[in-house]
Amino acid sequence: MTPELMALTLAALLQVLQFCAYSATSILQVGVYKAAGPRDKKIELTGTAGRFQRAMNNHFEGLILFTIAVVVVTYTDQSSNVTMLAAFTYLGARILYVPAYVFGLAPWRSLIWFIGLLAIVVMLLAALF
């Protein structure tokens, strides 16, 4: 397994952990019956549960671009120290992003997000050149 694929695997596991945190906090907020119900009416989560939900959704969006970068680097056999460092920088940024979002650490949350995005761009550019 390439280092980039390892980082992608760990990022996917991070997504699972985020989903668990979001699920647990949303159940605490709205109750088991409402959380397990048909959700015919939109449930608007607030506070910690809402922040976990938004952080998780943001990671889904970032994970798409990161997956593309990892696939491009892997399938073109262009894994390097630069792409490895970028992949683990992305992962580290995503790990830091969760508490930064949940605890409302502005402007750090945005800076951490940007570092993750920049890491993806570095991987894509490294694959092109």
Domains, the chain, in order of start with CATH, read: 3-36+45-128 (1.20.120.550)
pLDDT value at residue 40: 86
Do the beta carbons of residue 91 and residue 3 sit within 8 Å? no
Entry pTM: 0.94
Residue whose C-alpha is closest to residue 102's, from 64, 35, 56? 56
Q: Which of 17-21, 37-41, 95-99, 113-117 has the lowest mean pLDDT?
A: 37-41
DSSP 79: -
Residues 6+ apart with CB under 8 A from 113: 58, 62, 93, 97
- Percent of the chain whose pLDDT exceeds 70: 100
Considering the chain, what is the average pLDDT of its residues? 96
pLDDT of residue 47: 96
